[in-house]
Amino acid sequence: MSKKQQVVSMLVDNNAGVLARISSLFARKGFNIDSLTVSATDDARLSRITITTQGDKQVLDQILSQTGKLVEVRRVVAVDPAASIQRELLLVKVKADQAMRSTVREAAEIYKARVVDLSVESMVVELTGKPSKIDGFLAVISQYEILEMCRTGVTALERGSTVLGQDLDE
């Protein structure tokens, strides 16, 4: 079986130490976390954690089983890319003097990115989109000198009336 990117989403109790317990579980089991986002939900008692990792179906099943056993985890599901909306945020600072700005700005416009900061020697570009869009933009922008960059990691919601693997009618 081949390794592929897996996206796991979970609702957890909004308590101190929950993220540490989940990340230490991943470390103990030898699962690497490629990206991790934690956010508030509409219920102040719960947080949503979205983790991307690499693995085959067996690894994914083990992740779901092990995290599901933690007391603080209310629900955990594998997110199907075809049945979900996945987004990332990128901030990238590019070295760009007066002569370079227009070419960097053109590349940003093609990807519908925004220039959010401009200084004498650099510009910061913000882009939100699917991970593949972020990757594509970075491939184009890498011809310029990247001074700094930060990606948030994937956040995802299932399409339709499904809420973390459960249909609202259940």
CB contact burial 82-104 (16+ within 10 A = b; e otherwise): eebebbbebebbbebeeebeeeb
pLDDT in tens, 19-73: 999 999 999 989 999 999 999 899 999 999 999 999 888 989 999 999 999 999 9
The CATH classification number of 85-155 equals 3.30.70.1150
Choose the CATH number for 4-79 among 3.30.565.10, 3.40.50.300, 3.30.70.260, 3.30.1360.200. Answer: 3.30.70.260
pLDDT in tens, 132-141: 999 999 999 9
Radius of gyration of the chain measured on its C-alpha atoms: 19
pLDDT tier at 5 (50, 70, 90 boundaries)? confident
Q: How far apart are CA 81 and CA 57, in angstroms?
A: 15
Kindly report whether the global pTM for this prediction surpasses the value 0.75. yes
CB contact burial 19-49 (16+ within 10 A = b; e otherwise): eeebeebbeeeebeeebbbbeeeeeeebbbb
Q: What is the mean pLDDT of residues 91-98?
A: 95
